[in-house]
Amino acid sequence: MVNLLSGLFLFLLSMHCFVACLASNTKNITTDKYALLAFKSLITSDPYDILANNWSTSSPICSWVGVTCDERHNRVYGLNLTNMNLRGTISPSIGNMSFLVILDLHNNSFGGQMPKEICWLRRLKFLRFSMNKFVGEIPAALGELSQLQYLRLGINNFNGSIPQSIGNLRRLKLFTVVKNMFSGLIPQTISNMSSLEYVGFSSNYFSGTHSFDIKCVIYDISLLHFI
Ligand SMILES: *[C@@H]1O[C@H](CO)[C@@H](O)[C@H](O)[C@H]1NC(C)=O
Ligand SMILES: *[C@@H]1O[C@H](CO)[C@@H](O)[C@H](O)[C@H]1NC(C)=O
Ligand SMILES: *[C@@H]1O[C@H](CO)[C@@H](O)[C@H](O)[C@H]1NC(C)=O
Ligand SMILES: *[C@@H]1O[C@H](CO)[C@@H](O)[C@H](O)[C@H]1NC(C)=O
Ligand SMILES: *[C@@H]1O[C@H](CO)[C@@H](O)[C@H](O)[C@H]1NC(C)=O
Ligand SMILES: *[C@@H]1O[C@H](CO)[C@@H](O)[C@H](O)[C@H]1NC(C)=O
Ligand SMILES: *[C@@H]1O[C@H](CO)[C@@H](O)[C@H](O)[C@H]1NC(C)=O
């Protein structure tokens, strides 16, 4: 009897933890809303008042400019704020937008480092931070974004070396880092990436020689279409 009771007690205890832990891990559209508000709070300049006027807490986030939602999961699917002349840094909260597939901040003045929390976004397919003012090293955990197809970091001030883990991105089709301050060796694992069609490494401080068996190597930064 004692064993039965203590067994029952342990069972209830574990159920309680199961339910409580599940609830605290459950993300929903409200998680996305907090993440976007945190993102907005670190924008220091919005000259056209795009987010200031449009990202209003009284309207649903899926109607906010640059935000698209996945109707099936009712979560944010895309954040596209290209060409808006925004200045600021990227809130680590972005890592909580767990259904994000597209993150496009091309052609703004975002600075600071790429938050490592971006590597939590396991559904991400398109990451474009090109033509901004980002600095510092890119997180090695980027190599865990197994769905990534486009990684476009050209025309920034990123430095350090390209992490070896990039070679794990089996679905990557386009990888550009042109016109940054990257140094060190370009990881040889790049040659093993079967989906890779375009790479751009020019205008950095890489050392050593490298040769790639890749369809198109971009040398010309005027090919903005690929940056
Ligand atoms: C989101 O989840 C929280 C608990 O984590 C809950 O209180 C809230 O009602 C949920 N919101 C929606 C819109 O489902
Ligand atoms: C925000 O912009 C979107 C797209 O341009 C528009 O549909 C929506 O009505 C705007 N919302 C507000 C509150 O201005
Ligand atoms: C983001 O929006 C711009 C401008 O509307 C568009 O050219 C670009 O293709 C979009 N990015 C993605 C990944 O769809
Ligand atoms: C970048 O965005 C600005 C508007 O903020 C626009 O005037 C400019 O033409 C864009 N540059 C490119 C290369 O798209
Ligand atoms: C992610 O959301 C949780 C609440 O759901 C919060 O406690 C945590 O601080 C958030 N993480 C970041 C990096 O903002
Ligand atoms: C990268 O730049 C930052 C300043 O933005 C500096 O602190 C750091 O030492 C640099 N790292 C390398 C490897 O050059
Ligand atoms: C590329 O893949 C082959 C076969 O899987 C492996 O033997 C080789 O070590 C890999 N090379 C690099 C640089 O990762």
pLDDT tens figures, 13-32? 555 555 555 555 799 999 99
- Looking at the structure, tell me whether residues 130 and 182 fall in a common domain: no
Number of domains in the chain: 2
- Looking at the structure, tell me whether residues 86 and 9 fall in a common domain: yes
Taking the C-alpha atoms of residue 195 and residue 75, their distance in angstroms, rounded to an integer, is: 28
Residue whose C-alpha is closest to residue 221's, from 206, 201, 195:
201
- Taking the model in full, what pTM does it have? 0.89
Q: In this structure, are residues 150 and 176 in contact, taking their beta carbons and an 8 Å threshold? A: no
- Looking at the structure, tell me whether residues 114 and 222 fall in a common domain: no
Residue in the structure block whose two tokens are 């200031």: 52
Domain presence at residue 141: no
Domain presence at residue 142: no
- Looking at the structure, tell me whether residues 41 and 112 fall in a common domain: yes
- Looking at the structure, tell me whether residues 19 and 69 fall in a common domain: yes
- Looking at the structure, tell me whether residues 29 and 83 fall in a common domain: yes
Average pLDDT over residues 74-79: 98
| Percent residues over pLDDT 90 in the chain | 75
Domain presence at residue 145: no
Our answer on whether the CB atom of 92 is closer than 6 Å to any ligand 5 atom is: yes
CATH code of the domain containing 9: 3.80.10.10
Our answer on whether the CB atom of 112 is closer than 6 Å to any ligand 6 atom is: no
- For residue 6, pLDDT over 90 is answered with no
- 175 lies in which domain range? 153-160+169-227
Mutate to test the pocket of ligand 1, among 19, 26, 30, 33 (most ligand atoms within 8 A of CB): 30
The three-point CA angle 108-112-116 to 5° equals 110
Residue nearest to atom 4 of ligand 6 (CA): 136
Our answer on whether the CB atom of 32 is closer than 6 Å to any ligand 3 atom is: no
- Looking at the structure, tell me whether residues 114 and 16 fall in a common domain: yes
Taking the C-alpha atoms of residue 169 and residue 100, their distance in angstroms, rounded to an integer, is: 17
Model confidence over 136-180: pLDDT tens digits? 999 999 999 999 999 999 999 999 999 999 999 999 999 999 999
Domain presence at residue 146: no
- Looking at the structure, tell me whether residues 177 and 102 fall in a common domain: no
Our answer on whether the CB atom of 192 is closer than 6 Å to any ligand 7 atom is: yes
- Looking at the structure, tell me whether residues 23 and 117 fall in a common domain: yes
Domain presence at residue 144: no
